[in-house]
Amino acid sequence: MAVKDVKKVVLAYSGGLDTSVILKWLQTTYRCEVVTFTADLGQGEELGPARDKALMLGIKEENIFIDDLREEFTRDFVFPMFRANALYEGQYLLGTSIARPLIAKRQIEIAEQVGADAVSHGATGKGNDQVRFEIGYYSLKPDVKVIAPWREWDLTSRTKLLEFAEANQIPIAKDKRGEAPFSVDANLLHSSSEGKILEEPWDEPPEIVWQRTIRPEDAPDKATEITIEFERGDAVGINGERLSPATLLTRLNALGRENGIGRLDLVENRFVGMKSRGCYETPGGTILYVAHRAIESITLDREVAHLKDSLMPKYAELIYNGFWFAPERRMIQAMVDESQKSVSGTVRLKLYKGNTIVTGRQSPNSLYSMKHVTFEDDQGAYDQFDAQGFIKLNALRLRLGAMAGRKGGAV
Amino acid sequence: MAVKDVKKVVLAYSGGLDTSVILKWLQTTYRCEVVTFTADLGQGEELGPARDKALMLGIKEENIFIDDLREEFTRDFVFPMFRANALYEGQYLLGTSIARPLIAKRQIEIAEQVGADAVSHGATGKGNDQVRFEIGYYSLKPDVKVIAPWREWDLTSRTKLLEFAEANQIPIAKDKRGEAPFSVDANLLHSSSEGKILEEPWDEPPEIVWQRTIRPEDAPDKATEITIEFERGDAVGINGERLSPATLLTRLNALGRENGIGRLDLVENRFVGMKSRGCYETPGGTILYVAHRAIESITLDREVAHLKDSLMPKYAELIYNGFWFAPERRMIQAMVDESQKSVSGTVRLKLYKGNTIVTGRQSPNSLYSMKHVTFEDDQGAYDQFDAQGFIKLNALRLRLGAMAGRKGGAV
Amino acid sequence: MAVKDVKKVVLAYSGGLDTSVILKWLQTTYRCEVVTFTADLGQGEELGPARDKALMLGIKEENIFIDDLREEFTRDFVFPMFRANALYEGQYLLGTSIARPLIAKRQIEIAEQVGADAVSHGATGKGNDQVRFEIGYYSLKPDVKVIAPWREWDLTSRTKLLEFAEANQIPIAKDKRGEAPFSVDANLLHSSSEGKILEEPWDEPPEIVWQRTIRPEDAPDKATEITIEFERGDAVGINGERLSPATLLTRLNALGRENGIGRLDLVENRFVGMKSRGCYETPGGTILYVAHRAIESITLDREVAHLKDSLMPKYAELIYNGFWFAPERRMIQAMVDESQKSVSGTVRLKLYKGNTIVTGRQSPNSLYSMKHVTFEDDQGAYDQFDAQGFIKLNALRLRLGAMAGRKGGAV
Amino acid sequence: MAVKDVKKVVLAYSGGLDTSVILKWLQTTYRCEVVTFTADLGQGEELGPARDKALMLGIKEENIFIDDLREEFTRDFVFPMFRANALYEGQYLLGTSIARPLIAKRQIEIAEQVGADAVSHGATGKGNDQVRFEIGYYSLKPDVKVIAPWREWDLTSRTKLLEFAEANQIPIAKDKRGEAPFSVDANLLHSSSEGKILEEPWDEPPEIVWQRTIRPEDAPDKATEITIEFERGDAVGINGERLSPATLLTRLNALGRENGIGRLDLVENRFVGMKSRGCYETPGGTILYVAHRAIESITLDREVAHLKDSLMPKYAELIYNGFWFAPERRMIQAMVDESQKSVSGTVRLKLYKGNTIVTGRQSPNSLYSMKHVTFEDDQGAYDQFDAQGFIKLNALRLRLGAMAGRKGGAV
């Protein structure tokens, strides 16, 4: 047992079989009071049953917390991350990673409120989520006790888990009897699948894996055209209609779903040191990413854009590894947010069978100067002769190098 | 006049109207001998007419150089760049940028061979290409004289150019009488269009702009499945057939073309300080980029991959800005190449209406360990309890910060 | 002539021979009204004579601007830069670079106030200062006309300059008749010398070059002990006495001078592409740099400190190259400033014959935890067993690599 | 007990009390054969007694390994690191960090040779050294068993340790009876002290801490002038005399010692998450660092130097954290080594009471061009007018920004 003498623990509780077993296991192992916290992060499940099940498992009414966090999730976590164009390992939009800190934060808030000394979660000892949860906990409440049942108990096989459930009168949904063919995590930003039948990276994922988008092949034969409006780096409307963050993301998800947008089949590097294969669906997020880059393309200064890009991999890694509530993440965020002041305007897109195609961008803050770039007569806006000096001085060190025998940029 | 006393100049000569005018202008302005150099970089044009035209304009047989550089271009320029997953500003595959250094290099080789003291090109004073050509020239031959007619002459309008052509008996193709609606550059890697009717970034590019790919809407309704084989970071075969670099890229271009893959409509930041809008088609390159990332995903160590990613924006910027023949590019290349030793294996892809979808990857050098990652019993390969110490020490500085009043990662 | 039709020009005027010649040359060449601006940046010269000389050269009373900018210089330029621990090329404290933007800013403010359409400075066409001035001008007033006489006129030798001065009744100080053996720039942060007798990098600079510090050999045989107090990253007091920024820096300069601190003899890389040799004296700044790092060492989170360090070379390069008034500098500054919120406390130092030795540091915001680090019994603050899991998971990817044949970190 | 069933273990054995206790504890706890490995890394202690003590403690002759690794240490570890100008947290020359991988490597080589299945070391569970040793072990022999007694046993106080020693007939040197006032590590590169009386970072270290350098106050009143010769980035001679790596470093240590050079009193951030205070003496290394930067200043291209500097903090962090035998360290090393091809020449230095002062640098590969930089007439080597275009295009994006309302680089 990693920690001792637990009085009251706040459990991140989904209402599913695994966290119900954990709930019971906490009660029996630590003989402590259990407080459940269930969040609606847009995973697309009813939360009512979670309450019923918690009650049935003996949790007191006042110890059951159920929150709709969809707006907070989108506004304070997803949108700030999208300001940075964050992609982990060049591809992954960090849909799971970004949800964990919010859950951790709410758990700690509840722990402070109910006077709990411990928190617990249902993530395994092999994955990234345990790190994300626990770094969040420790950063927000440094003396908190953390219980990670999957790292501690001996319910190491499906059979043992079911036996424990039966022995403890935990109801088991019929479809949970057999083992799921893969593991799923979902929230408003994305749905991820991994494990079991997906463990061989040479095998194509079966269609059943994809739950949140239709096949590009099944999407409409005609493109859907939309506009997205931005203010200070955040999307604020679709087709001219102003929408709250979560509503907007929900709409984009629907648009993405029906156009087969946002599937990703990836082998990635976990923080704990192994490679894993995940299948991600981020329909709305994929559209948002493309649109945000497009609005930045006319509103950001070049060096600002390049500086952002150079820090993006670090920022994405921080979020992936669980360091949302770390000062270095906040520092980069401060820089990123500073860059977004002028990132306002409209992007027009075509959505078509898996493709998100930019067809136009405009902004009151545009730095694009047709007067300068034009192939036509520019009326003296730009003196082409300046380019000669520009090139000659940029080349000077290379010329000096070549004269010293280092031709062609020999080091 | 920027330079004086030119005896012999090597001109990058396409055979088109503009460089023919330059040819004549060089003869008349500098009263120097002109050597023409025309390269086949896979732009898809016959080179025979360039020779005829040069002869007709009075260039001596021995002063006409025409080279097929497609293999060298792909092997020594495109492939090394793709090892780095280079994307300028997160999106652009650098199709034009990567061709310029090779042209510059050949021009300088010819200049050394024929004893020329000057080189000349047809790039304008507003763009990046002048920089790329000239930095290449200076780096390879530091005392070379550079003539950039577009920055010097007074043929500043289409009308004046045509008048000069007529006055000098330069044949004008019928379709060049009127002004082209946009400007095009092409080579084996890509085709780019910009200017004129594309100058308003809010307007969608007309279909006529896209010359190298069919519309995704017109692509087959059924996906094309292929495999690409890699060795040490480079693609070496398609569907098990071993191919030379240029042949392979040509095949991928055909596959990309017919599946509507590789279109990009972008506002980018030029090195000379202005934003411009370009429409790029990189059919084969887009497929190659996706496949290369996929084979890296199972063969690269995590930190190697992240280090590469962190330097990629810098590397891409160097190439975009024209610093191929600069020591800092060579240094990053040395690092990138070092990382590719184990990047061998096979990637399976589906090409479908604009989408390039990875469906499998395998390698004899794979670092993916099913034994470790599995959701099933791992026979002790991984001790989940290790994660506790890992997390606790990763969190220690944050806990100390929180205890000192900086909760949640407050800076 | 680079620009035309100048009506009124604001000249950065030192009162010395060179800028007096420029003053006259502007009047005669552009036939425009000249406004002089002379700043006290702590260079240690009386400004009264500059006023007299300007009047004598026919400048109207209302066109003479003389400002004491020492506090603004230290508070808004030097101190923000020191928050970043900026060192160019690992060594140079950027004393000249940081003064130029403030001069440019004041010149533009005066230009706006007096309705001038142009500005002018006395920097040569080979150095960095022209870039720093002019990028400042353009960034603050994009339509301003810039006159850089040294790039334009034909007074290319000392003799011609003196002839022009005599022909125009410009008084020439006796000691300016002969040529100075090197060129000097000075302000409250530093004094720099370069050129002429310093041009051979193998020759040791003669003692006469060092004007602001005594020889370490001549400094007291006994160390001087001081404390410096910091608040939010800035020094606010010495030995417990609260001081304004410029007063504090002046005091540190005196302390540094008498202890032989802050000399640097350096070959550096100029933005224009050549290497140059400079001899710098930054007595107070050197002490400040050491002290700032020391107070950061106990107040900054590790990753915050490392992130700052990773961006420092870029930040220093921006300032060196003249991009103070550029958005990317402001972005990094935003990040740096964010990091300094807790950088308060006291550092104790010994100053001794060129050495600045930290002997103690303390802070109410210290993150140093004796309880954790102690070699004595730590009462369970730290569980040594956590280290095992920490190490094992940090090593996992390397073990997997070694098992795949890449032992010892083979790539 | 962290590992089980150990048959034979290779212990990093110093011959001192602590590792002798470990030796005995391994025998009694694991009932396994113990092989001792003692290295001469220039720590300045006789190794004979280590052999005698090992024999006395029952180690078989063939199980005692004693190696003089000073040349390998300097040539293959210290020198490559100095090519990068590595400083951890801006100040620390990594003297301890760089020695650990070599010890780990030799231990593993011996383990392979004698057929041992385990290795052991005497580093505590709070420090960095455990990480450095063990990451080295795992990377070189992924299946090795690692025993870290300090993390496992119950000899948690000095008293218990001495009791164990006495109970096991381990001789205790008289001066080890009482507790040492601080802990020391030493090798040819440096000597470090930490712990106990040094734990309060506000207290000045007593003079007794400094063992390898005399007080600057006690150093000669006259500077010592030397030259150091470099070839391809490595020092190869002093005062014109060619020396092997270890001999050279030994000489520099003597020069540094007698001139009071290389003391550092630092609070640093450990990899395990806490801050600690260390007092380091790196006399020869400090001289070498200054000299290497000086020879680079005339031989490296600007962008090469800046690229190196931008990666240096990462490289230093890798070494500090123990990732010498990791592929990302090898990748950066490949880049660094590539940059050193032309770093040959001579640096002249003055050593004086703690100061290392560069007084000259020269190289056959110098990129310093007096012809270009001169204040005198440069015969047209550099056209000052080029600077105008250079500045105007560098400023263009800022002018466009200012015209769009973002004056002074507003983001």
Contact residues on chain A for C314, CB-CB shorter than 8 A: 307
Instruction: Tell me whether residues D272 and B328 touch, CB distance under 8 A.
Output: no
Q: Which domain holds residue A75?
A: 8-87+95-176
- Encode pLDDT of B97-113 as tens digits: 999 999 999 999 999 99
Chain D interface, best mutation among C135, C385, C391, by max D CB count within 10 A: C391
CA distance, residue A186 to nearest chain B CA (Å): 18
Residues C22 and C61 in one domain: yes
Output the average pLDDT for chain A. 95
Residue A74 has pLDDT above 70, yes or no: yes
Q: Which of C365, C389, C404 is opposite residue B390, by nearest beta carbon?
A: C389
Whether residues A255 and A290 share a domain: the answer is yes
Q: What are the pLDDT digits (tens) for C231-258?
A: 999 999 999 999 999 999 999 999 999 9
Continuous H helices in D260-300: 283-299
In total, how many domains does chain C have?
2
Domain boundary among A122, A157, A176: A176
Q: Report the relative pairing of strands D241-242 and B118-120 from DSSP bridges.
A: unpaired
- Asked if residue B151 and residue B20 are part of one domain, the reply reads yes
As a whole number of Å, the end-to-end CA separation of chain C is 57
Q: Which of A373, A409, A410 is nearest to A394 (CA)?
A: A409
Q: Are D326 and C409 in contact (CB under 8 A)?
A: yes
Q: Which of A380-384, B41-45, B187-191, C363-367 has the lowest mean pLDDT?
A: A380-384
C371 vs C385: CA distance, rounded Å: 17
Catalytic residues of B: 18, 100, 129, 183
Position A209 scores a pLDDT of 97
Residue C157 in domain: yes
pLDDT at B339 over 60: yes
Q: What is the mean pLDDT of chain D?
A: 95
B40 to chain C, closest Cα gap in Å:
34
pLDDT the model gives residue B174:
76
Same domain membership, residue D187 and residue D141: no
C172 band by pLDDT with thresholds 50, 70 and 90: confident
Whether C66 maps to a domain, the answer reads: yes
Tell me the chain B residues in contact with residue A89 when contact means C-beta distances shorter than 8 Å.
297, 305-306, 309
Question: Does residue D216 lie in a domain region?
Answer: yes
Give CA–CA dist A171/A49, Å, rounded: 12
Strand partners, B266: B278
| A375 pLDDT above the threshold of 80 | no
Task: pLDDT band for C174, please (50, 70, 90 cuts).
Answer: confident
> Measured between alpha carbons, how far is B293 from B273 in angstroms, rounded to an integer?
31
Give me the CATH number covering residue C148: 3.40.50.620
Nearest to A296 by CA among A233, A369, A356, A231: A233
Residue B154 lies in a domain: yes
Tell me how close the Cα of D126 comes to any Cα of chain A, in angstroms.
19
pLDDT tens per residue across span D358-388:
999 999 999 999 888 887 778 788 999 999 9
pLDDT at A328: 98
Statement to judge: residues B258 and B152 lie in one domain: no
Q: Does the pLDDT at position C401 exceed 80?
A: yes
Does position D158 have pLDDT exceeding 90, yes or no?
Answer: no
Mean pLDDT of B24-36: 96
C129 is in an annotated binding site: yes
Of the residues A176, A192, A224, the one at which a domain ends: A176
Secondary structure element (H or E) that encloses residue D145, with its range: strand D145-147
Measure A174 CA to nearest chain C CA, in Å: 37
The reply to whether residue B330 touches residue D338, judged by beta carbons under 8 angstroms, is: yes
Mean pLDDT of A290-303: 98
* Cβ–Cβ below 8 Å for A397 and D301: yes
Tell me the average pLDDT across B332-338: 96
- Residue D172, pLDDT score: 87
Q: For residue C19, what are the CA distances in angstroms to A357, A410, C47, C175?
A: 57, 42, 14, 16
- Kindly report which listed range (A359-373, B313-327, B369-383, D59-73) carries the lowest average pLDDT score: B369-383
| Closest chain A residue to D338, measured at CA | A411
Q: How far apart are CA D1 and CA D10, in angstroms?
A: 17
* Residue A382 known to bind ligand: no
Position B182 pLDDT exceeds 70: yes
pLDDT of residue B2: 66
Are both C138 and C285 inside the same structural domain? no
pLDDT of residue C1: 53
Q: Mean of the per-residue pLDDT values for chain C?
A: 95
The pLDDT of residue D2: 66
Tell me if C17 is assigned to a ligand binding site. yes
Residue B396: its chain D contacts at CB < 8 A? 272-274
- pLDDT band at residue C171, thresholds of 50, 70 and 90? confident
Q: Give residue D341's pLDDT.
A: 96
Hey, of B130, B275, B303, B331, which one would you mutate to test binding to chain D, going by the most D CBs within 10 A of its CB? B331
Please determine, for residue A1, whether its predicted confidence score (pLDDT) is greater than 70.
Answer: no
Q: What is the CATH number of the domain that holds B219?
A: 3.90.1260.10
Measured between beta carbons, the chain D residues lying within 8 angstroms of A396 are: 372, 382
Q: Are residues B170 and B225 in the same domain?
A: no
Q: Which residues of C touch B (CB under 8 A)?
A: 301-304, 338-339, 341-342, 365-367, 369, 372, 382-383, 385-390, 392-394, 396-398, 400-401, 403-406, 411
Q: What is the pLDDT of residue C187?
A: 98
For B153-180, what is the mean pLDDT?
Answer: 87
Buried b (16+ CB within 10 A) or exposed e, B250-283: bbbbebbbbbbbbbbbbbbbbbbbbbbbbbbbbb
For position C346, what pLDDT does the model report? 98
- Phi/psi of residue B353, each to 5°? 45, 60
Q: How confident is the model at residue C2 (pLDDT cuts 50, 70, 90)?
A: low
CB-CB neighbours of B46 under 10 Å: 9
What would the pLDDT profile of B219-268 be if each residue is shown by its tens digit?
999 999 999 999 999 999 999 999 999 999 999 999 999 999 999 999 99
Q: Same domain for B105 and B55? A: yes
- The whole-number average pLDDT for the span D63-74 is 98
The answer as to whether A107 is a domain residue is: yes
Catalytic annotation, residues of A: 18, 100, 129, 183
CB contact under 8 A, D372 and A396: yes
Q: Which chain C residues contact residue D202 at CB under 8 A? A: 348, 360-362
Give the percent of chain D with pLDDT over 90: 92
Distance CA D258, CA D212 (A): 9
Domain end call among B149, B176, B203: B176
Is A370 contained in some domain? no
Helix (H) or strand (E) holding A290: helix A283-299
C401 with B367: Cβ contact below 8 A = yes
Residues C57 and C150 in one domain: yes
Q: How far is CA D59 from CA C398, D8, D13, in A?
A: 32, 12, 12
Q: Which chain D residues are Cβ-neighbours of B268 within 8 angstroms?
A: none
Q: Please say if the pLDDT value at position D155 is more than 60.
A: yes
- For the segment D241-258, the average pLDDT, to the nearest whole number, is 98
Whether the per-residue pLDDT at A226 is higher than 60: the answer is yes
Residue B4: per-residue pLDDT: 82
Rounded to the nearest angstrom, the minimum Cα separation between A142 and chain D is 14
Segment A233-249 shows an average pLDDT of 98
pLDDT of residue B93: 98
Mutate to test the interface with C, among A145, A308, A338 (most CBs of C within 10 A): A338
Please give the ipTM for the structure prediction: 0.96
In this prediction, residues D110-115 reach a mean pLDDT of: 98
Chain D contact residues (CB < 8 Å to B): 269, 272-274, 301, 303-304, 306-307, 314, 323, 326-328, 330-332, 334-335, 338-339, 393-397, 400
The verdict on residue B59 lying in a domain is yes
Considering the domain architecture, whether residues D147 and D204 belong to the same structural domain is answered as no
The pLDDT value given to residue D242? 98
Could you tell me whether strands D8-12 and D118-120 are parallel, antiparallel, or unpaired per DSSP bridges?
Answer: parallel
| A222 and A134, same domain (yes or no) | no
pLDDT at position D3 is 79
The verdict on whether residue D382 carries a ligand-binding annotation is: no
Burial per residue of A172-207, b for 16 or more beta-carbon CB atoms within 10 angstroms, e otherwise: eeeebeeeeebbebbbbbbbbbbbeebbebbeebee
C56 and C18, same domain (yes or no): yes
Residues linked to residue A227 through DSSP beta bridges, in sequence order: A348
- In-domain check, residue B133: yes
Query: For A124-148, what is the mean pLDDT?
Result: 97
Q: Which residue of C has its CA nearest to A396?
A: C273
